[in-house]
Amino acid sequence: MPATRVDSLTPGAWAVLGALAEGPTHGFALVQLMARDGALGRIWTLPHPVVYQALKRLQQLDLITERATERGGRGPQRTILAVTPAGRRALRRWLFAPVDHVRDVRSLLLLKMALLDRAGIDPAPLLDAQRAQVETLVAALTCQHDAAEGFERVLATWRLESSRAVLRFLDSVSPSSSSSRP
């Protein structure tokens, strides 16, 4: 499967894939998990139709497959879905890739951390990669900040302080954090 097809997945599709990787289940169980009051919905909420759209897309990419059907409580039969080996490989790559933007830490990084936690997987490699990426950004932003004037300096200050806040957050949640870091 071409990487570009997998790279085109939305964050919601990744969330559904990550939830489904916990074990075979049906779409309605995923809807409940991704609902506003669901365990993952507290971080990344997906409406009912979006969950099913994501499942369709994941099937098209052969990242998930149908395993069986079971009788629903009061509704139609439910299709039990499971992650394919290709889906597991793609998910693992995505889970350990740092997010691209500081603004995505609140949503995507926390989602990745929640999925790793639910799977019992150590988040340290993700947190270390994220820290390295943000440290590089802070160095560049410091140079921009020092050279800026007027509103450009205000904007540079905002971006720099936001990035520094992310570093502090990463230090506070990382098992490999060091108190000697700036």
**What does the pLDDT look like over 83-111, one tens digit per residue?**
999 999 999 999 999 999 999 999 999 99
How far is CA 91 from each of CA 5, 6, 14, 96, rounded to the nearest angstrom? 13, 10, 7, 9
Q: Side by side, which strands form the sheet with 64-70? A: 25-26, 78-83, 64-70
CB atoms within 10 A of CB 117: 11
29-43 residue pLDDT tens = 999 999 999 999 999
**Using 50, 70 and 90 to split pLDDT, how confident is the model at 77?**
confident
Q: What pLDDT, on the 0 to 100 scale, is given for residue 6?
A: 79
User: In whole angstroms, what is the distance from residue 72 CA to residue 92 CA?
Assistant: 31
Q: For the chain, what percent of residues have pLDDT higher than 90? A: 84
**Using 50, 70 and 90 to split pLDDT, how confident is the model at 71?**
confident
Q: What pLDDT, on the 0 to 100 scale, is given for residue 163?
A: 97
- If you classify domain 3-95 with CATH, what class do you get? mainly alpha
Q: What pLDDT, on the 0 to 100 scale, is given for residue 7?
A: 79
Higher pLDDT, 48 or 75: 48
Kindly give the residue spans of alpha helices, DSSP state H, lying in 37-123: 48-60, 85-95, 110-119
User: In whole angstroms, what is the distance from residue 48 CA to residue 27 CA?
Assistant: 9
Give 153: exposed, middle or buried? Use CB within 10 Å, 0-12, 13-18, 19+.
middle
pTM higher than the cut 0.75: yes
